[in-house]
């Protein structure tokens, strides 16, 4: 009944290196929409995700 849709908005280089392989880190801006019964969007959010360019692992930022 409900549909989840993700769309990539853009990529840019982020500071730091991957702790697993030492590759460069990219910041990816992602727009996410939830729809119910394919009609109107219920929720809309933009998030920034980090991933490695060499091993393609998703990285988590801890403060």
For residue 50, pLDDT over 80 is answered with yes
Q: Band the pLDDT of 45: cuts 50, 70, 90.
A: confident
pTM equals 0.72
For residue 39, pLDDT over 70 is answered with no
Q: What is the pLDDT of residue 2?
A: 65
Long-range contacts of 1-4 (CB under 8 A, 24+ apart): 1/36, 1/37, 2/34, 2/35, 2/36, 2/37, 2/42, 3/34, 3/35, 3/36, 3/38, 4/32, 4/33, 4/34, 4/35
What residue segments make up the domains of the chain, in order of their start? 2-55
For residue 63, pLDDT over 80 is answered with no
For residue 35, pLDDT over 80 is answered with no
How large is the average pLDDT for residues 49-63?
Answer: 89
């Amino acid at each position: 009944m409900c549909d989840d849709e993700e769309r990539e908005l853009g990529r840019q280089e982020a500071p730091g290196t991957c702790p697993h392989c030492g590759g460069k880190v990219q910041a990816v801006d992602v727009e996410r929409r939830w729809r119910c019964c394919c009609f109107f969007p219920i929720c809309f959010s933009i998030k920034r995700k980090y991933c490695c360019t060499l091993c393609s692992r998703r990285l988590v930022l801890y403060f």
